[in-house]
Amino acid sequence: MSEIRLDRIHNQYVVMAPERLHRPNISHSVLKKSAQSYTCPFCESNEGLTPPEIYALRNNTPNSSGWKTRVVPNLYKAVQIELEDTSKREGMFESIPGVGAHEILIDSPCHECDLSDMSEIEIENWLRSMIIRMEDLQKDRRLIHLSIFKNFGANAGATQEHPHTQILALPIMPQNELIFLERNMKYYRRHGRGIIEDIVENERAAKSRIIDEVGDFSAFCPYASAFPFEVMIAPLGNIRSLNLCSRKQIADLSALIKITFGALAKQLGRFDYNLYFHLAPLNENFENEPYMSSMSKNYRFTLRITPRIYRLGGFEISSGMAINCVMPEECAKLLRGSL
């Protein structure tokens, strides 16, 4: 059974998930397909190899072929929705059961298709499926923090080759999220604007790191990029979460994601990457209560793409600081030239 424990030294929560030990390893299973012993559980017609679907974009019988996107419980889940949210203490040690949701969104039936290969409509289906799950998970008032991310390729930690996205909802706020909410509130009280709002406006004014814009969204290589060719996509207005976007805004975001991945693929070829959304809390609790009432004025969600074209070393891990060997201005210039 999983647990969420508090590390008193670093003041960080840690998910203890022994079930994850048994997840497949891409280097041993997926990459040895030549042995003809691997059957992809995420491919169409293999629906019986996954747990029953939670949601699917389809017009036919559940758990059968003929779907566009499909959401299933993570077989090697880090947290479990069935547990009770009750904390316990053993002296100075504190833990709560590993309550939460851990789901897999299978991006498309295509085993070889990454976001750079998908059409705008397919990317839009991907985003809309996230929104459906987000709004459903939000109904469980125990769930506070939502993490939506993609690991693509072995260097990015992927354990399945078929492109997929993970949706993980927790009953607590990660400390880095709380720290950001506090900093953002202080910034707002001083300037009347949120941090991301000013970052976007400054990037648009500088122009040198902007890749492209579509409708209400801008894509740029951040000023202090931690990875070469790192890209952030942000709305031009204060939209605090993906599910608050209009249909047109989702279509615009899909188009910009398609453009961005096309440009990255032209420069990097087939590259490993992490992709993640930075979203407002799902629900209010005692941790985030001071910030919730002003989020419509000072918070906007972001999408970040971090190509993993080199591995982290001892300095990065020990210091928490990144060493980036390519200037973001040069990356943006190359990506603009690829459009």
What pLDDT sits at residue 126? 98
pLDDT of residue 32: 43
Residue 30 has pLDDT above 50, yes or no: no
Q: How confident is the model at residue 35 (pLDDT cuts 50, 70, 90)?
A: very low
**pLDDT higher than threshold 50 for residue 54:** yes
Task: Supply the pLDDT for residue 34.
Answer: 42
Percent of the chain with pLDDT over 70: 92
- pLDDT reading at 11 higher than 80: no
Confidence band for 21, pLDDT divided at 50, 70 and 90: low
| Position 27 pLDDT exceeds 50 | no
Residue 332: predicted pLDDT: 96
The distance of Cα 37 from the centroid of its chain, to the nearest Å, equals 31
Higher pLDDT, 120 or 77: 120
pLDDT-derived band at 29 (thresholds 50, 70, 90) equals: very low
Of residues 56 and 9, which shows the higher confidence score?
Answer: 56
pTM above 0.85, yes or no: yes
Q: Strand, coil or helix: what is 308?
A: coil
pLDDT of residue 143: 96
Most distant pair of Cα atoms in the chain: their distance: 62
CA 269 to each of CA 16, 40, 159, 232, 285: distance values in angstroms, whole numbers, following the listed order: 36, 24, 21, 19, 44
Q: Give which of 309, 315, 151, 154 is closest to 228, Cα–Cα.
A: 309
- Which pLDDT value is given to residue 25? 56
pLDDT at position 170:
94
Coil, strand or helix at 132: helix
Mean pLDDT, residues 78-97: 83
Range list of H helices, the chain: 120-137, 175-191, 195-206, 247-268, 289-292, 295-298, 314-319, 328-337
Predicted confidence band of residue 9 (pLDDT cuts 50, 70, 90): low
Gap between the Cα atoms of 41 and 226, Å rounded: 34
Q: Binning pLDDT at 50, 70 and 90, where does residue 31 land?
A: very low
- Cα end-to-end distance, the chain, whole Å: 48
pLDDT per position as a tens digit, 266-303: 999 999 999 999 999 999 999 999 999 999 999 999 99
pLDDT tens across 312-326, in order?
Answer: 778 777 877 788 888
Q: Are 124 and 106 in contact (CB under 8 A)?
A: no
Instruction: Please give the CATH architecture assigned to the domain spanning 3-337.
Output: 2-Layer Sandwich (3.30)
CA distance 127 to 108: 12
* Per-residue pLDDT at 289: 96
pLDDT of residue 8: 62
> Token pair of 338, please?
């690829």
Distance of CA 287 to the CA centre of its chain: 22
What's the rounded mean pLDDT across residues 133-147? Answer: 96
Domains of the chain by residue range? 3-337
Tell me: pLDDT of 19 over 80.
no
pLDDT at 311: 79
